[in-house]
Amino acid sequence: MSVFDKAKDKAEQAVGGAKEKMGRATDNEEMENAGKRDQLSGEAKETGHDLRDRAAGAVHDAKERMRDE
């Protein structure tokens, strides 16, 4: 995953956490839920990027093994 993607995902999670806390502090359930959604979205994107990178690494490793044979 690029550093930019990772930073965006982490930022989305951080903003979501802040929204959730602000919603809780102001008794604004809609804002609190929006924060939770943002956090989950950032986590899902991060997981997707990690899986994509692992798959790319596995493909690269397999190609290298085939080349060595």
What pTM was estimated for this model as a whole?
A: 0.76
Percentage with pLDDT > 90 across the chain: 61
pLDDT one-digit tens code per residue, 23-61: 999 999 999 999 999 999 999 999 998 898 888 888 887
pLDDT one-digit tens code per residue, 19-30: 999 999 999 999
Number of structural domains found in the chain = 1
CA dist 8 and 22 (Å) reads: 21
Q: Which residues contact 19 (CB under 8 A, 6 or more apart)?
A: 31, 32, 34, 35, 38
Residue 28 has a pLDDT of 97
Percentage with pLDDT > 70 across the chain: 97
- The domain in which residue 34 lies consists of 3-68
